Structure 1
Amino acid sequence: MLCHAFVTWSLGGRAARSLARPVAMVRHVTQLGQHPAPSHAVAHISDTHFLAGNRRLYDAVDTQANLERALHQLERSDIRPQALVFTGDLADQGEPEAYARLRAIVEPVAARMGAQVVWVMGNHDERQRYAQGLFDEEGSDEPHDRVYDVDGLRIVSLDTTVVGYHHGELTDAQLDWLADVLATPAPHGTLVAMHHPPIPTPLLWAMDMLELEQQDRFARVVAGTDVSGVLAGHLHYSTHSLVAGIPVSVAAATCYTLDLSAHERLLSGVDSGQSMNIVHAYPDRIVHSLVPIAEPVEVSGFSTEHRAAIEAMTPEQRLEMFSSKTSPFNLGADTATETPQ
């Protein structure tokens, strides 16, 4: 199913834009367990840190190759995301050419997948260049907050940046605007995408200096609303918490990550462990799954050629074939060539 919509309205003295482009529904498959199929799938990608001229970050990290690998993995998979959400630090130095190249790489892939692209400001981004490079708008030094409609799932892009600084803040006007947006529930609930996560960072003491300030104010606004999850970045490692009882998921970076076990280092950035998250939305919950960005070596597997046979089995037959420890499958049958009966 494809949907088109474009709505503009004014809330609390701030312009809010609802953007909706053609999106692909999650591919239907037979559910083998007790839960229904998710209504939405969203790819959560963060901290690309592109540089103009495709320069290597810290003369070491090929940020473009890492992102292209992530997008390739998505496109060849069965995940079929309906939106690609980038939670900030898109361009390491806010360079116009970096935004142009990022957009040129992401948008064609998103179009082929039928996915919307949701951009979010980060502390390394520059507001005017961000608006010009990614939205073809003049932009200003005011916060860039937007509302996206992804086939009934509302995604709010919230700008937590402070001009000239690396820590995060939300102004009174932004919080009033957010409260107005959330006053009307969306058909499939709301995800808030922001760069600075509203959570503590116990494994990264130094990052407390660059946190989102006055997180309690944000918590009061989202409490009791239809917000089912908060997506964030900034930390360069994956972590999870709650704010006002709402799940918060921080995606690790595609550029480089942090070694949280480094001895005698306040921060230790490493060119390894890059990943993205996949968010699946259900009527009563969301599920976050971490997907490593890598060329893995398979050591065990089961071919998709058996999907039809599995779907044709009764639940009892599936239990006997795949759950029973004494079944031919679990005793070592050659599943690459033998179809389950």
Structure 2
Amino acid sequence: MLGHIGGSGEGDMATKARWGQHPAADLVIAHISDTHLLTGGVPLNGSIDTVANLHLAMERLAGSGIDFDALVFTGDLTDLGEPGAYDILRDAVEPVAARLGAEVIWVMGNHDERAPFAAALYGESVENAGENAARPQDRVHDVHGLRIIALDSTVPGYHHGELTDAQLDWLRRELAAPAPRGTLLALHHPPVPSPIDFHDALELRDQHKLAEVVEGTDVRGILGGHLHYSTHSTFAGVPVSVAAATCYTMTFLEPDRLLSGVDGGQSIDLVHVYDDRIVHTVAPLARFPEVASRPADLIDRISKLDPELRLELLSSKESTFDRLLRALDDAGA
């Protein structure tokens, strides 16, 4: 199933694409991060309902009208790595993903624990718990020709990130042959600088080693989490996009705070994959008062107008919504 920006009827994306210079996206991915769930749905820090936030995110995705090809979760899925917290996560996400027809891709974060992560989310045997705890949870996913590689950048017992030489050798072998639609890397610790000094101690270490592996390959983008705010950069010539958390976010404008986490601004990212580019869009979870709108069912009617008239009615500063409706009625659209 190819991804669409949401619409109200058959052929909407083809119609929308003809209005401008760009075609429909080949694939659409939801990038979600840092859910920080606790067993029993216990509020994080005593006040943040992380389960409700997760359900809101799933509700927003399911009701968006967008055809998602994958849901990528870039780590800190739980706060303490508890098996029961992974059960809450799976039960909230997998039914929605099934309705959307989207593949779910889980990535380890520093608050996760490898053995319960592997058992609950990938069905690996609890008898192999010791092996899973020692083995990085690196996996390769093929999403309609787009290769998404989940990299486990966690260090057991610590919050900073690392990729071992063995992981980098494995990644180099995986990237040796290009994928039909290229590759996205998804890891918790993003290889970007942070405006929060405190994050320097918890960043991905030896980033130059990863850069040496990525340079010259078909990697088209890197998805990250960990920071609890949305940010964008480049790394080894590749765009990096970090999704903010669904649990709580960081603010930078409090001069007397080393860190300032707030219960607001939660969001997810929409990743639109085109043949020649990838577009990342921040989508807030909260619903705000609507101050301007147009009904979705107009798209089919507007598409029937002559292109020059359509441009005039939609772009001219002299045009009004009433004038648009009159033109649609006159055209029998």
Matching residue of 1:175: 168
Partners of 1:340 and 1:247 in 2: how far apart? 47
Deviation at 1:310, TM superposition (A): 1.4
The alpha-carbon deviation at position 92 of structure 1 amounts to 0.2
* Equivalent residue, structure 1, for 2:80: 93
1:134 to 121, 134, 157: 121
Establish whether residue 163 from structure 1 lines up as the match of residue 156 from structure 2.
yes
Q: Distance in 1 between matches of 2:323 and 2:306?
A: 20
Match of 1:35 among 18, 22, 26: 22
Structure 1 contact 306–340 (Cα < 8 Å) conserved: no
Are residues 1:328 and 2:306 paired?
no
8 Å contact kept, 2:37–2:85: yes
Equivalent-residue separation in structure 1 for 2:307 and 2:254 (angstroms):
48
Q: Which moved more, 1:313-322 or 1:179-188?
A: 313-322
Equivalent of residue 63 in structure 1, options 18, 29, 50:
50
The DSSP-based 3-state class of the residue aligned with 2:116 is helix
Distance, in Å, in 1 between the alignment partners of 2:234 and 2:151 is 18
Deviation of 1:314 after TM superposition, in Å, equals: 2.7
Q: From 233, 238, 251, give the equivalent of 2:230.
A: 238
Between the aligned partners of 1:242 and 1:25, the Cα distance in structure 2 is 25
Give runs of aligned pairs for residues 186-197 of structure 1, distance below 5 A.
186-197=179-190
Query: Paired residue for 1:210?
Result: 202
Distance across 1 between alignment mates of 2:330 and 2:87: 50
1:285 & 1:300 partners in 2: Cα distance?
30
Q: Distance in 2 between matches of 1:262 and 1:69?
A: 28
* Counterpart Cα distance in 2 of 1:227 and 1:314: 41
The runs of at least 4 aligned residues of structure 1 exceeding 2 Å deviation read 24-28, 332-336, 338-341
Contact 2:74 2:223 in 1 (8 A): yes
Tell me how far apart the structure 2 counterparts of residues 150 and 92 of structure 1 sit (CA, whole Å).
Answer: 28
Residue of structure 1 equivalent to 2:89? 102
| Pair 1:198–1:326, CA change in 2 (3 A) | same
Contact 2:3 2:25 in 1 (8 A): no
Q: Distance in 2 between matches of 1:263 and 1:220?
A: 37
Tell me if structure 1 keeps the 8 A contact 2:171–2:213: yes
Supply the AA of the counterpart residue of 1:83: A
- Distance in 1 of aligned mates of 2:284 and 2:67: 17
Distance 1:211 1:339, change over 3 A: farther
Does 2:253 align with 1:284? no
Match of 2:67 among 80, 99, 103: 80
CA distance in 2: counterparts of 1:265 and 1:25, whole angstroms: 42
Aligned to 1:198: 191
Q: Which amino acid aligns with 1:263?
A: P
Query: How far apart, in 1, do the equivalents of 2:272 and 2:154 lie?
Result: 27
Q: Is this contact kept in 1: 2:29–2:68, CA < 8 A?
A: yes
Work out the CA distance in 2 between the residues paired with 1:146 and 1:153.
14
SS at match of 2:297: helix
Structure 1 match to 2:4: 26
The reply on whether 1:219 has 2:211 as its aligned counterpart is: yes
Gaps of 5+ in 2: 6-10
1:306 maps to 298
How far the C-alpha of 1:315 sits from its partner, in A, is 2.2
**Contact between 2:183 and 2:219, CA under 8 Å: does it hold in 1?**
yes
CA distance in 1, matches of 2:74, 2:86: 14
Residue type of the alignment partner of 2:310: R
| 1:255 equivalent in structure 2 | 247
CA–CA distance in structure 2, aligned partners of residues 328 and 205 of structure 1: 49
Distance change (3 Å), C-alpha of 1:286 and 1:169 = same
Give the distance between the partners of 1:334 and 1:326, measured in 2 at CA.
11
The farther-off stretch of 131-140 and 59-68 is 131-140
CA distance in 1, matches of 2:265, 2:324: 33
Alignment CA distance shift 1:307-1:142 (3 Å): same
- 8 A contact 1:302–1:335 mirrored in 2: no
TM-score, normalisation: structure 1: 0.89
In structure 2, what is the equivalent of residue 4 of structure 1?
none
SS of residue matched to 2:257? coil
Residues 26 and 82, structure 1, Cα contact 8 Å, conserved in 2: no
How big is each residue's C-alpha offset from its partner over 1:42-65, in whole Å with a ceiling of 9 and x where there is no partner? Answer: 000000000001000000100011
**In 2: Cα distance, 1:333 partner to 1:307 partner:** 16
Q: Percent identity?
A: 56
Question: Cα RMSD over matched residues?
Answer: 1.8
Q: 1:66 Cα shift?
A: 0.6
C-alpha distance in 2 between matches for 1:104 and 1:187: 32
Alpha-carbon distance, 1:133 to partner: 1.3
Alignment of 1:119 with 2:112, yes or no, is no
Deviation at 1:26, TM superposition (A): 3.1
Letter in 1 for 2:20: G
